[in-house]
Structures are given as C-alpha cells and as structure tokens.
Amino acid sequence: MASAVSSLRPAQLKRPWFTRARQRELTGFLLVLPWILGFITFTAGPMLASLVLSFFRYNLVADPIFSGLENFNYIFNKDPLFWGSVRRTVVWAVSVVVIGVTISLSLAMLINSKVAGNGIYRVAFFVPTLTPLVAGVLLWNWILQPTYGPVNSVLSLIGVKGPGWLLDPAWAIPALMLIYFWLTVGGANLIIFLAGLQGVPVELYDAARVDGANAWEVFTNVTLPLLSPTLFYVLVVGTIGGLRVFALPFMTAAGAWSVGGPEDATYFYLIHIYQNAFKYNNMGIASALGWIFFMAVILLTIFQFVGSKYWVYYEAGD
C-alpha cells in the first residue's frame, strides 16, 4: 500500500534516497523524540549517574571522592539500620499484598454478586482511594488518637483499653496497614478483579454445579484459575508498590515522632534512603542503597514471571 502510493509521486522518484518510507521513519522518530530526551535526562541519565556515585563519597557540596566498594561494605556490614529496614519492608510488602489482594477480591465478589445496592457499595469502597495520602493520614491520625479518638472510645465502652496505635511501637505497623487498606483496597485492584470476574463464562459455573461442586470448590477450581492472569498482574504491581512504602510512614511519623518512629517501628527501606540522602547528605550511600533496591526489584519481577508459568492459567488461543 505504502509503496503504491509513493510510486505515484514523480517528485520522489527523482530522489530515491529520501523515499516516503524514510520520510515516515523520520517523522515517527521526531514524534517519539520528546520521550527519548525525557527518558535520557530524567530517568536513564540520573540512574547511571547514581550507579557511578554509589562508588563515591559525595555530600553535594564537596567534589565526589572515589571510594571503591566502601559504600556497599558499609551498608551490608556496618550500617546498624540497613538489615532492620530490609526485614521490615519485606514483611510489610508480603503482608499488604496478601491481605490487601484478599480483601479487594472479596469486595469485588460481593459487588459482582449483584445484590441490592451494589452500586452504592462500589462508590463507598472507591471514594477513600481518591483521598490524597496526606489528607487520609491526617484523618486517621485523629481517628486512631489514643485518648480522644472514636476507635479507642468505642473499645473503652466494652471495657477494652485501646492501644496507642501510631504512637505505640508494637501497634504502629497494624495501624499503618489499616490506613493503607482504607486508602487502597477499594481502588484499582477491585476494579480490575471486577472486570476479571465479569469475564468468567456463566456456563463454567453451571457445569461445575452439575458436577456437584460446592461453593468453595467452584471458587478454587473455576474462579481462581480464570482470574490467575489478573491475579498475577496485581501481585507483581502490588509487591513493587509494597516495597516502595514511604509517604505513608513518613506522614504518620510527622505527628509525634521523628521519621521512622516510634522506635524505628516504621523505619522502612525508602525511609533509610531518604534519611541518608536528605538528612545526612550521604549521596553516595543513598545511591548505593537505591541501586541495591533496583536490583532487588528486577530480580523479584523476573522471579515472579518465571514462577507464573507454574500457576497462571492462560486460555488456549488467547
């Protein structure tokens, strides 16, 4: 088609090099150019620079000093906060992904059951996910306030002394999860699950019923396998999102404790990077920490893709 059109134009026959195909190639390249420039300037360039910096001592003021593997040696062997932040972050990511996905899927199934009022429930679950994180944290700071908050007031009515929530090292993480789930479970994942559930053919349920399967068997043998591609996507995105936890603990800590508090209970990996970069101006160590994180994310994603072959079900011919 393309060559047929260009052969009709005598002007281009005279200049065989600048053919219509080449012209289109150039146009396409020019259209994509903004992204290429942006990618180099704001993503690839800074990342490479930080890879280089991870082998330097750099405090933004003095010139960088080459220090070999010193930063990595410090991080892995001497840094008193590194391994704790890694452990906390992994526990957090696994917990919020498993619990959060379970809640989202349950809510999606509730809405998909088309009981009376499901349109209202859907909006009620979704609206919290639109709340700006900063505002959401401030709302919850007050709801979980140990003395004057409604949660502990209700608990005291039934004779239970409520915990200190965000102010108590033992309860800070559960409190953070509560806020996190309120801010996320009714959002993107629920909508994606709902789309997935609506794609399950009704005949499959009928067939399972005829074979005498009970509700749980239908769920594990029909619904879950057909949802597995969706579930896979949600798990990959959710795990990375969980590991990146930062703004939430950063904001809650601002109320009464220094960042990462109380008593380092919410001192996650990205907070560790933040503290090194912007509190102590250790740009070299912060860069090294960033690259360790980047490598971990890539390895984890590859691992999930390889592992998915064993449990994700794709319909034939899809």
Partner 1 sequence: MTVKSVLPANESINILQYKKPFSINRLILVVLGIVLSIIFMFPFVWSISSSLKGPTEIFIIPPRLFPLEPRWYNYERIFTIVPLTKFFQNTMIITAITIVGILMSSTLVAYGFARFNFRGRNVLFILLVGTLILPPDLTLVPRFILYNQLKWIDTWLPLTVPEFFAVNAFLVFLLRQFIMSIPLDLDEAAEIDGAGPLRILWDVILPLIKPALATVAIFAFLGAWNSFIDPMIFLRTTEKFPISVGLRFFQTGPDMGGEPREPLLLAASLLMSLPPILVYLFAQRYYVQGIVMSGLKR
**Residues 94-133 close enough to bind partner 1 by CB under 8 A:** 107, 109-110, 112-118, 120-121, 123-128, 130-133
d(CA 25, CA 23): 5
In the structure encoding, which two tokens stand for residue 218, read together?
């239908």
Smallest CA-to-CA distance from 262 within 167, 173, 185, 192 is with: 167
Residues 139-198 touching partner 1, rule: CB under 8 A, are 139-140, 142-143, 147-150, 153, 156-157, 182, 186-188, 191-192, 195-196
Q: Does 35 bind partner 1 (CB under 8 A)?
A: yes
- Report in angstroms how near the CB of residue 107 gets to partner 1 at its nearest: 7
Helices 118-130 and 82-112, packing angle to 10 deg: 160
Residues 266-285 touching partner 1, rule: CB under 8 A, are 270, 273-274, 277-278, 283
In the structure encoding, which two tokens stand for residue 277, read together?
């970069």
d(CA 133, CA 247): 8
Smallest CA-to-CA distance from 177 within 72, 235, 100 is with: 100
* Contact pick of 18, 29, 303, 311 for partner 1 (by CB under 8 A): 29
Considering the complex, state which of residue 176 and residue 283 has its C-beta at the smaller distance from partner 1: 283
d(CA 66, CA 284): 10
- Report in angstroms how near the CB of residue 148 gets to partner 1 at its nearest: 6
Residues 284-313 touching partner 1, rule: CB under 8 A, are 286-287, 290, 293-294, 297, 301
Considering the complex, state which of residue 266 and residue 287 has its C-beta at the smaller distance from partner 1: 287
Residues 235-254 touching partner 1, rule: CB under 8 A, are 236, 240, 243-244, 246-247, 250-251, 254
Considering the complex, state which of residue 216 and residue 310 has its C-beta at the smaller distance from partner 1: 216
Residues 189-228 touching partner 1, rule: CB under 8 A, are 191-192, 195-196, 202, 205-206, 208-210, 213-215, 218
Residue 308: DSSP 8-state: H
- Report in angstroms how near the CB of residue 91 gets to partner 1 at its nearest: 19
Q: Does 7 bind partner 1 (CB under 8 A)?
A: no
Residue 63: DSSP 8-state: P
Question: How many other CB atoms sit within 10 Å of the CB of residue 81?
Answer: 16
* Contact pick of 146, 221, 233, 264 for partner 1 (by CB under 8 A): 233
Q: Does 26 bind partner 1 (CB under 8 A)?
A: yes
Alpha helices in the chain (DSSP H): 2-6, 10-14, 20-38, 45-53, 70-73, 82-112, 118-130, 133-143, 150-157, 172-184, 188-198, 202-210, 215-218, 224-243, 247-256, 269-274, 283-308
- Report in angstroms how near the CB of residue 49 gets to partner 1 at its nearest: 5
Query: How many chain residues are in contact with partner 1, going by CB under 8 A?
Result: 109
Q: Are 166 and 252 in contact (CB under 8 A)?
A: yes
Q: Does 72 bind partner 1 (CB under 8 A)?
A: no
Q: Does 260 bind partner 1 (CB under 8 A)?
A: no
